[in-house]
Structure 1
Amino acid sequence: MVGGGQLARMTHEAGIPLGIRFRLLSDTPQDSAAQVVQDVRVGDYRDLATLRDFARRCDVITFDHEHVPVEHLRALEADGIPVRPGPDALVHAQDKGVMRARLTALGIPCPRHRIVSDPADVRAFAEDEPGATGFPVVLKTVRGGYDGKGVWVVDSEAEAAEPFRAGVPVLAEEKVPFTRELAANVVRSPHGQAVAYPVVESVQVGGVCDTVIAPAPGLDPESASQAQHLALTIAHELGVVGHLAVELFETADGSVLVNELAMRPHNSGHWTQDGAVTSQFANHLRAVLDLPLGDPRPRAPWTVMANVLGGDFPDMYQGYLHCLARDPALRVHMYGKDVKPGRKVGHVTTYGTDLAQVRERARHAADYLRGTITE
């Protein structure tokens, strides 16, 4: 696996029962996965020689993130190393402009969008073109953004200068008046088998995923089925192998628009570790290795995942004493990161039959571990 973050850490954990020998290319020895994986190579994934040397001893390559240059991945494929997902699929998660163009060509519903060249072009997109909805407008760097980084909401031409300073292409999108954010998580194997998890509601705070509720409360079963079908169609048409998360906007009329794609295990699927028969991490590994995929059905009527952000409570052990005594059914997943304010250092999951209670349990634990509550 290329990348040593928490996704690699949890994917490695899922591979242990299958006896999978897991190799890791990590940026540093302190990365989340590098702390627990035995076979670690520290190196720069952007260096082709390093990547090639790492890959020579691997049966298949997969990823903790989507940033490996596609030309490097094509070189690995030319060397005979299976890369999953492959570069032809992964480019759609790396480049938002490419993604929007391809989804539009496939007839997949997306926000109105186009590449813009300067602030004046942003104003033209917002006010002068057919279908223009005016300001505010969402501006995104086409590459490199995540967790709210590389994204700006601007209310005028004057506010639109900042995204262009990096000298990279900028995508303009209409600001969708959505009612909530959803996510459809699917997994697809090389021979075309695919499974779909229940569609979830994803609650964002400050551009970062805060809480995920599975399944999405009040979502019409037909709408849920349509969202799953949409994600499965994207996975098939783009040739995705492994886990695909399709982030969606739900609008007032119940329709959905595609916001983002992620071709790796995803925060909106963390609930599956404890809430599904087969987790996203286990199914991602099964797909990458072309094994039969596991059952994606939920174990309980409701599962809630809440992210733990760093705050004023660096001694997590003391937090465990309270949280685990208060809620013996609580599941805690920490990433081995130093606690820093606002940093995503772990998550908790709760499950049960009463959504209000399940949600309160997850929220209490996440807030207590952060230090925003003390009892």
Structure 2
Amino acid sequence: MNVAHTVGIIGGGQLARMMYQASIGLDLNIALLAEGPDVSAARVVHDVTVGDYTEAQVVKDFAATVDALTFDHEHVPTRLLEELEVTGLAVRPGSGALVYAQDKALMRAKLGGELGLPSPRWRICPDAEALRAFGNETGWPIIAKESRGGYDGHGVWRIDGPDDCGEPFQESLEVSAGERVEIIGEEFVDFTRELSVIVARTPEGECVSYPVSETVQEHGICVETTTPAPGIGPDRQDEIQRLGRDIASALGVVGLLAVELMERRDGEVVINELAMRPHNTGHWSIDGAVTSQFENHLRAVSGLPLGDPTARQPWCTMRNVLGGRPDLTAGIAHVGRDGGLKVHFYGKTMRPGRKVGHVTSYGSDLADVQARARSAAAYLMNE
């Protein structure tokens, strides 16, 4: 088996930071292309290049120093990744797969159209009038999204009626990388909860699934996950995990795939979005699974066999720390008295609402596990 001993990561956020942590036990070398010298991952990785991931020569020069390339985010221009693949570089997950996480319109056409997988009704809307017509046909409210570039609630609008349809078109629809951005209208799904399933897949097609997680979103930001999702029996778990594996196989994903889902009131799930990298809804796996999502991503990217994704405890809750008290040392010391709780901070400057870390609790009692995670996160956020 050929192993890529040096893995390049584009993007210097907390996902790259946690990938670096996982690389140590695997004895992999990590090179980082970071947005700046003080971003989260650049504060811990030894081999750091600072540069703009949208500039072709910067990315090509960086790629020439690594055996395989992966990502902290999905924003590297698709055409640039295609050029790198022509040179023989192992780009993971691969441009042909990643484009479906980069472009929501292409994703909808592929998953809901060609593959017939459960998806909301949707349509590309070139202007406010087209969005208004979609809403009139579908029923109000509807959701409008930028096809590229949105994250954590940015580039997403709830449109309550015809008079609000101009809002998504008031801003420029050209991203810095020069990729075309469109507005898509989507059916408003009256869901009871949101779920996530994460799978890891190797170039040879080996694929493993993590337990399905229930996620809690506030203002478009994930604030909490509980794994496994309460109230989902073994057969339903298997069905949703199989959906994740089927998508990874159909798209040719190499590495991690996170499938965000909405559960309708009748129990049916529909696909919301995809991510092809470690994902916030998988952070629980660092402490709660036999093999973390970060380790399995690197295993897949570098050509190593995948590890066991099984949960270590019956329940695990992850709670994000959004902003926080200035004295982190005292805060960590306080919550550290709970032996069933783990704290992870990302080396970021504190700012209200910013993801600066997360806490994970685990055990055999669901209510207790959730209460401990929530209490610890609230304390660290000085609430």
- Shared fold by TM > 0.5? yes
- Report the counterpart of residue 271 of structure 1 in structure 2: 284
User: What is the identity, as a one-letter code, of the residue corresponding to 1:348?
Assistant: V
- Report the counterpart of residue 46 of structure 1 in structure 2: 54
Aligned partner of residue 22 in structure 1, secondary structure: strand
Q: TM-score, normalised by structure 2?
A: 0.94
- Report the counterpart of residue 118 of structure 1 in structure 2: 127
User: What is the identity, as a one-letter code, of the residue corresponding to 1:115?
Assistant: I
Distance 1:296 1:321 in 2: 30
Are the aligned partners of 2:213 and 2:225 in contact in 1 as well (CA < 8 Å)?
yes
- Report the counterpart of residue 246 of structure 2 in structure 1: 233
- Is 1:196 equivalent to 2:209 in the alignment? yes
- Is 1:157 equivalent to 2:162 in the alignment? yes
- TM-superposed CA distance for 1:290, in Å, is 1.4
- Report the counterpart of residue 366 of structure 2 in structure 1: 355
User: What is the identity, as a one-letter code, of the residue corresponding to 1:333?
Assistant: H
The one of 342, 350, 356 aligned to 2:353:
342
Are the aligned partners of 2:135 and 2:162 in contact in 1 as well (CA < 8 Å)?
no
User: What is the identity, as a one-letter code, of the residue corresponding to 1:29?
Assistant: P
- The correspondence of residues 142-221 of structure 1 with structure 2, limited to 5 A, is 142-165=147-170, 166-167=172-173, 168-221=181-234
- Report the counterpart of residue 140 of structure 1 in structure 2: 145
Distance 2:326 2:118 in 1: 43
Distance 1:297 1:268 in 2: 15
The one of 364, 368, 373 aligned to 2:379:
368
Distance 2:207 2:342 in 1: 28
The one of 136, 152, 172 aligned to 1:127:
136
- TM-superposed CA distance for 1:233, in Å, is 0.5
Distance 1:352 1:344 in 2: 25
Are the aligned partners of 1:223 and 1:254 in contact in 2 as well (CA < 8 Å)?
no
The one of 281, 300, 304 aligned to 1:291:
304
User: What is the identity, as a one-letter code, of the residue corresponding to 1:359?
Assistant: Q
Are the aligned partners of 2:101 and 2:276 in contact in 1 as well (CA < 8 Å)?
yes
CA RMSD in angstroms comes to 0.9
- Is 1:321 equivalent to 2:333 in the alignment? yes
Q: Which runs of 5+ in 1 are unaligned?
A: none
Distance 1:122 1:54 in 2: 42
- Is 1:34 equivalent to 2:47 in the alignment? no
Q: Which runs of 5+ in 2 are unaligned?
A: 1-8, 174-180
- TM-superposed CA distance for 1:321, in Å, is 2.3
User: What is the identity, as a one-letter code, of the residue corresponding to 2:117?
Assistant: I
- TM-superposed CA distance for 1:78, in Å, is 1.5
- TM-superposed CA distance for 1:252, in Å, is 1.3
Number of residue pairs the alignment of both structures matches: 366
- TM-superposed CA distance for 1:292, in Å, is 0.6
Deviations 1:332-355 (A, max 9, x none): 010000000000000010100001
Aligned partner of residue 16 in structure 1, secondary structure: helix
- Is 1:75 equivalent to 2:87 in the alignment? no
Aligned partner of residue 91 in structure 2, secondary structure: coil
- Is 1:109 equivalent to 2:109 in the alignment? no
Distance 1:163 1:256 in 2: 27
- TM-superposed CA distance for 1:323, in Å, is 1.1
Distance 2:63 2:276 in 1: 20
Aligned partner of residue 105 in structure 2, secondary structure: helix
Distance 2:232 2:264 in 1: 12
Distance 1:365 1:160 in 2: 41
Distance 1:249 1:287 in 2: 27
Distance 1:135 1:18 in 2: 51
Are the aligned partners of 1:223 and 1:255 in contact in 2 as well (CA < 8 Å)?
no
